[in-house]
Amino acid sequence: MHRIYLDNQSGTRLDARVLQLILPFFDQQYGNAQSMHTLGQQAKDAMEKARVQVADLIGARNEEMYFTATASEANNLAVKGIAQAYQAKGKHIIVSAIEHFSVLNCGKRLGQAGFDVTYLPVDKDGLISPEDLKKALRPDTTLVSIQLANSEIGTVQPIAELSVIAREKGVIFHTDAVYAAGFMDIDVNQLGVNALTLSGNQFYGPKGAAALFLKKGVRITPQTDGGVQEAGRRAGTENIPAIVGFGAACELVKKEMPQFLPEIIRLRDRLIKELPEKIEYVYLNGHPLKRTPHNANFSIEFIEGEAMMLFLDQEGIYVSSGSACANKALKLSHVLTAIDVDAAVGQGSLSLTLSKYNNDNCIDSLLEHLPPTVERLRQMSPLFAHFQKTGKRQVAGPGTDYKHQHEHEEQEEH
Amino acid sequence: MPFYSDKVMDHFQHPRNVGEIKDADGIGEVGNPVCGDLMTFNIKVKDERLEDVKFKTFGCGAAIAVSSMVSEMAKGKTLDEAMQITNASVAKELGGLPPNKMHCSNLGADALHKAIEDYKSRQVKK
């Protein structure tokens, strides 16, 4: 059966050229980069080459790049590490309400440790307001962490504009660029950030390597104590095959992005235009223009996302959903909640994310299989039956407890 | 290992007894679309037996499979027998459900019981 992978925000397919490059580092050049012998030095040279490649992708200097195993680890290092290093100055940090859990839960953890955390709201398109950031800054604020792009709805934040506001107050600015890297030009100087997270698995590199850019002079408290690796900021034997692959992926994507990006944008725009033509009561989530080239996110009303995902799975089409059932937390995704998507409508969330490996056939296949799937689920849906009978969206029937628990106002026609 | 058992997938992909009954003798609804699941059961009763059972469900794969299984288990049973069907026995018939689906999606028996109670309260009124 064909495989149509439209879940690239969960990780991309490894580039075959990257795979070939990293294989010798498992069984030929297997030295530990901290060893002084030849095998060790070969590993170290390969790692330092990768460091330059990663730095080049974002306009940083190689000595400002620190490797970690995952983007979550890099975000933990940035948020907790910077907050702790500057706690003599103040114990207030600011993050956005739609950050990845590796930032949000750092906020929670710091909150338990006596820090004060402000969660900045976003508008219905997912954008942070610079005014809100200005108002949230306090004399004891030490760190602002706002993502460059959102992995679920694709909204791209005005980071350069936001970072200036923090810089004027002498506050450190970190951005999680995991979801933007490889799909947008990124330059740490243009963005004006002091710290930035990126991960190779998001753009055709292997799992197991990510990095934190930390501008020279920014202090950080290590979150993993141990040896001297990564200039003492992140102890632990370096994962050389993954790091080599990460570096190679950065070099390739920097060179090839101009070639494949227009095609990804064209495919995304096909989805945004054609999907609502084929299915009624479909709403695009995220900013219509300020979004990453590879993201199309919809709410499909009257049905639930996990059921939709399972039917598509049977057709070899792999997607994701932010519905409560598809969410391990059994709650509607925090991102859809933050942009004020109606809690019932958001259950039909469908996230489609592209890569350079997608083509028109993938889009055609989705557009062929999704409408009958939606139709099938709507035929089973009591919400849709109610809507067809009454033209109203609220459910009321004998024994229902929906009326009491559903606190939102009834949705008007979009 | 797949997320759901073969039996769950079978009932999800080929749900039995989907629909509504035009002049239903009882209607029961449980759940809440805000939590992700809403189930509506329609029943037709003849001589204290469930002559027909139909459902409509808004929800995940488990919720749809549970509704389908409940409708199959209940059809033809007496009202008393149908009241003995529990959420746990439905899950068992389906070859088990993932732990996080036991609570929210496994409400089919409750919806059926509500339909039966609705039928009974209508009888009292008559």
Q: Mind listing the domains of chain A with CATH numbers? A: 14-254 (3.40.640.10), 258-392 (3.90.1150.10)
Q: Provide the annotated active-site residues of A.
A: 325
| CA dist B56 → A196, A366, B119 (Å) | 48, 26, 18
Handedness of CA B24, B25, B31, B34 (dihedral sign): positive
Chain A residues close to B40, C-beta within 8 Å: 382, 397
**Cβ separation B118–A385 shorter than 8 A:** no
Nearest by Cα to A318 from A85, A2, A60, A7: A7
Per CB-CB distance under 8 Å, the chain A contacts of B109 are none
Q: CB B27 to CB A398 under 8 A?
A: yes
Look at A347 and B56 and tell me if their CB atoms are within 8 Å.
no
Residues A191, A221: contact at Cβ < 8 Å? Answer: no
In this complex, is the C-beta atom of B58 within 8 Å of any C-beta atom belonging to chain A? yes
Average pLDDT value for residue range A408-412: 34
pLDDT of A367 reads 97
Its CATH class, for the domain covering B6-125, is: alpha beta
Identity of the amino acid at A413: E
Question: Does position A57 have pLDDT exceeding 90, yes or no?
Answer: yes
Q: Would you call B58 and A405 a contact, using CB atoms and an 8 Å cutoff?
A: no
| Residue A330 pLDDT class (50, 70, 90 cuts) | low
- Does B18 sit within 8 Å of A380, measured CB to CB? yes
State residue A365's pLDDT score.
97
ipTM of the complex: 0.92
Q: What is the average per-residue pLDDT within A391-408? A: 45
> What is the count of residue pairs from A and B with beta carbons less than 8 Å apart?
112
Q: How confident is the model at residue B19 (pLDDT cuts 50, 70, 90)?
A: very high
Chain segment A92-103, per-residue pLDDT in tens: 999 999 999 999
- Looking at per-residue pLDDT, the higher value among B98 and B14 belongs to B14
CB hemisphere CA count around B112 (13 angstroms):
31
> A325 versus A299: which is more confidently predicted?
A299
Radius of gyration of chain A (CA): 23
Pairwise CB contact (< 8 Å): A324 & B36: yes
Question: What is the pTM assigned to this prediction?
Answer: 0.92
Q: Report whether pLDDT(A329) > 80.
A: no
Indicate whether A67 pLDDT > 50.
yes
Task: Tell me what pLDDT residue A324 has.
Answer: 73
pLDDT, greater one: A306 or B35: A306
pLDDT per position as a tens digit, A123-180: 999 999 999 999 999 999 999 999 999 999 999 999 999 999 999 999 999 999 999 9
Confidence of residue A328 (pLDDT cuts 50, 70, 90): low
**Chain B residues with beta carbon closer than 8 angstroms to that of A408:** 34
pLDDT value of position A283:
95
pLDDT at B126 over 90: no
Residue A396 scores a pLDDT above 90: no
pLDDT of residue A64: 98
Residue A414 has a pLDDT of: 34
Residue of B nearest to A330 (CA): B35
Give the one of A382, A398, A406 whose C-beta lies nearest to B56's C-beta.
A382
Q: Give A-chain residues touching B27 at CB under 8 angstroms.
A: 397-399
Average pLDDT over residues B64-78: 96
Interchain pair A311, B37: CB under 8 A: no
In chain A, what residues touch B38 (CB-CB under 8 Å)? 382-383, 395, 402
What tens digit of pLDDT does each residue of A217-245 get? Answer: 999 999 999 998 999 999 999 999 999 99
- Taking contacts as CB-CB distances below 8 angstroms, the residues of chain A near B31 are 401-402
B18 to chain A: nearest residue by CA?
A380
Question: Which whole number is the average pLDDT over A376-390?
Answer: 93
Mean of pLDDT values over A47-65: 98
Decide if B58 and A328 are in contact by the 8 Å CB cutoff: no
3-state secondary structure of B57: strand
Average pLDDT of the residues in A366-377? 97
| Res A22: pLDDT | 98
pLDDT above 80 (res A335): yes
Of B38, B60, B62, the CB nearest to A382: B38
Mean pLDDT of all residues in A89-113: 98
Long-range contacts from A116-122, C-beta under 8 angstroms, 24+ separation: A116/A91, A116/A92, A116/A140, A117/A92, A117/A93, A118/A92, A118/A93, A118/A94, A119/A95, A120/A94, A120/A95, A120/A96, A120/A146, A121/A97, A121/A338, A122/A96, A122/A97, A122/A98, A122/A155, A122/A338, A122/A339
What is the average pLDDT across A325-353? 86
Active site residue B35: yes
User: Higher confidence at residue A399 or residue A281?
Assistant: A281
Which of B3, B14, B16, B38 to probe by mutation at the A interface, max A CB count within 10 Å?
A: B38
